Amino acid sequence: MELPSTTFFKKKLREKVKDAVWEDVQKYGRSDLKIAAAREAILDSSGRCENCDCELNFGQWSRWCLNQFTLDRVDLSRPHAAGNLRLLCFYCNGRIGSTRDEDGLPRRYHYVKPACLSGCCPNDAPRVQRPTKVF
Protein backbone atom coordinates (compact mmCIF):
# COMPACT_ATOMS: atom_id res chain seq x y z
CA MET A 1 0.00 0.00 0.00
CA GLU A 2 1.10 3.57 -0.55
CA LEU A 3 1.56 5.94 2.37
CA PRO A 4 -0.42 9.17 2.36
CA SER A 5 1.82 12.22 2.08
CA THR A 6 -0.52 14.60 3.90
CA THR A 7 0.53 16.65 6.90
CA PHE A 8 -2.43 15.17 8.79
CA PHE A 9 -1.21 11.58 8.28
CA LYS A 10 2.37 12.41 9.24
CA LYS A 11 1.20 14.17 12.41
CA LYS A 12 -1.13 11.32 13.40
CA LEU A 13 1.52 8.68 12.73
CA ARG A 14 3.96 10.55 14.98
CA GLU A 15 1.25 10.78 17.68
CA LYS A 16 0.42 7.07 17.46
CA VAL A 17 4.10 6.09 17.67
CA LYS A 18 4.64 8.49 20.59
CA ASP A 19 1.64 6.98 22.44
CA ALA A 20 2.90 3.43 21.81
CA VAL A 21 6.40 4.35 23.02
CA TRP A 22 4.95 5.89 26.20
CA GLU A 23 2.82 2.77 26.81
CA ASP A 24 5.83 0.49 26.25
CA VAL A 25 8.04 2.45 28.64
CA GLN A 26 5.31 2.23 31.29
CA LYS A 27 4.77 -1.53 30.79
CA TYR A 28 8.24 -2.80 29.85
CA GLY A 29 10.65 -0.06 30.94
CA ARG A 30 11.83 0.40 27.35
CA SER A 31 10.59 0.97 23.83
CA ASP A 32 11.93 -0.26 20.50
CA LEU A 33 9.40 1.43 18.22
CA LYS A 34 10.53 3.95 15.63
CA ILE A 35 8.45 5.83 13.08
CA ALA A 36 10.27 3.96 10.31
CA ALA A 37 9.01 0.62 11.67
CA ALA A 38 5.44 1.90 11.81
CA ARG A 39 5.72 3.24 8.27
CA GLU A 40 7.10 -0.13 7.10
CA ALA A 41 4.21 -1.98 8.76
CA ILE A 42 1.74 0.27 6.93
CA LEU A 43 3.55 -0.12 3.60
CA ASP A 44 3.53 -3.93 4.00
CA SER A 45 -0.16 -3.99 4.91
CA SER A 46 -3.16 -4.43 2.65
CA GLY A 47 -4.67 -1.24 4.08
CA ARG A 48 -7.33 -3.32 5.83
CA CYS A 49 -7.92 -4.19 9.49
CA GLU A 50 -6.31 -7.54 10.30
CA ASN A 51 -9.36 -8.51 12.36
CA CYS A 52 -12.56 -7.28 10.71
CA ASP A 53 -11.11 -6.60 7.23
CA CYS A 54 -12.59 -3.11 7.04
CA GLU A 55 -10.76 -0.51 5.00
CA LEU A 56 -8.50 1.44 7.34
CA ASN A 57 -8.67 5.21 7.33
CA PHE A 58 -5.22 6.78 6.88
CA GLY A 59 -6.53 10.18 5.72
CA GLN A 60 -8.68 12.76 7.50
CA TRP A 61 -10.69 11.37 10.38
CA SER A 62 -12.56 12.71 13.35
CA ARG A 63 -11.66 11.93 16.94
CA TRP A 64 -13.98 8.92 17.28
CA CYS A 65 -13.49 7.44 13.80
CA LEU A 66 -13.78 3.68 14.23
CA ASN A 67 -11.85 2.92 11.03
CA GLN A 68 -8.74 4.99 11.79
CA PHE A 69 -5.64 2.81 11.80
CA THR A 70 -4.01 1.80 15.08
CA LEU A 71 -0.76 0.05 15.92
CA ASP A 72 -1.26 -3.19 17.87
CA ARG A 73 1.30 -5.62 19.25
CA VAL A 74 1.21 -9.20 17.95
CA ASP A 75 3.07 -10.57 20.99
CA LEU A 76 1.82 -8.91 24.18
CA SER A 77 4.89 -9.96 26.14
CA ARG A 78 7.08 -7.62 24.04
CA PRO A 79 6.88 -3.89 23.30
CA HIS A 80 5.79 -2.43 19.97
CA ALA A 81 8.64 -2.91 17.49
CA ALA A 82 9.40 -3.89 13.92
CA GLY A 83 8.15 -7.45 13.51
CA ASN A 84 5.72 -7.10 16.42
CA LEU A 85 3.17 -4.78 14.83
CA ARG A 86 -0.18 -5.37 13.22
CA LEU A 87 -2.71 -2.84 12.00
CA LEU A 88 -6.19 -2.82 13.46
CA CYS A 89 -9.01 -0.34 13.16
CA PHE A 90 -9.68 1.78 16.26
CA TYR A 91 -12.80 -0.27 17.05
CA CYS A 92 -11.10 -3.68 16.89
CA ASN A 93 -8.05 -2.50 18.84
CA GLY A 94 -10.26 -1.22 21.62
CA ARG A 95 -12.45 -4.28 21.59
CA ILE A 96 -10.02 -7.18 21.06
CA GLY A 97 -6.52 -5.72 21.07
CA SER A 98 -5.47 -7.53 24.26
CA THR A 99 -7.21 -10.87 23.72
CA ARG A 100 -5.24 -13.89 22.55
CA ASP A 101 -5.89 -17.59 22.09
CA GLU A 102 -4.39 -20.33 24.28
CA ASP A 103 -1.14 -20.18 22.23
CA GLY A 104 -0.81 -16.43 22.74
CA LEU A 105 -1.65 -15.65 19.11
CA PRO A 106 -4.05 -12.90 18.10
CA ARG A 107 -7.60 -14.18 17.99
CA ARG A 108 -9.88 -13.13 15.13
CA TYR A 109 -13.38 -12.06 16.13
CA HIS A 110 -16.44 -11.56 13.98
CA TYR A 111 -19.12 -9.12 15.07
CA VAL A 112 -21.34 -6.38 13.72
CA LYS A 113 -19.35 -3.19 13.78
CA PRO A 114 -21.29 0.03 14.41
CA ALA A 115 -20.90 3.11 12.26
CA CYS A 116 -18.54 5.85 13.35
CA LEU A 117 -19.65 8.51 15.77
CA SER A 118 -18.61 11.06 13.18
CA GLY A 119 -20.38 9.20 10.36
CA CYS A 120 -17.17 9.05 8.31
CA CYS A 121 -16.95 5.24 7.97
CA PRO A 122 -18.63 3.47 5.06
CA ASN A 123 -20.94 1.35 7.20
CA ASP A 124 -24.73 1.35 7.31
CA ALA A 125 -24.91 0.13 10.91
CA PRO A 126 -26.57 2.39 13.48
CA ARG A 127 -24.34 5.05 14.94
CA VAL A 128 -23.10 4.46 18.48
CA GLN A 129 -23.55 7.05 21.18
CA ARG A 130 -20.66 9.31 22.09
CA PRO A 131 -19.19 8.32 25.48
CA THR A 132 -20.10 10.61 28.36
CA LYS A 133 -18.06 11.48 31.41
CA VAL A 134 -19.25 10.09 34.71
CA PHE A 135 -18.70 12.43 37.63
Res 70 pLDDT > 80: yes
- Average pLDDT (82-109) is 78
**What average pLDDT is seen over the chain?**
82
Phi, psi for 106 (deg, rounded to 5): -55, 135
Q: Give the range among 39-48, 54-63, 80-89 with minimum mean pLDDT.
A: 54-63
Lowest mean pLDDT among 13-27, 70-84, 88-102: 88-102
| Residues 51-80 as b or e (16 or more Cβ within 10 Å = b) | bbebebbbeebeeebbbbbbbbbbeeeebb
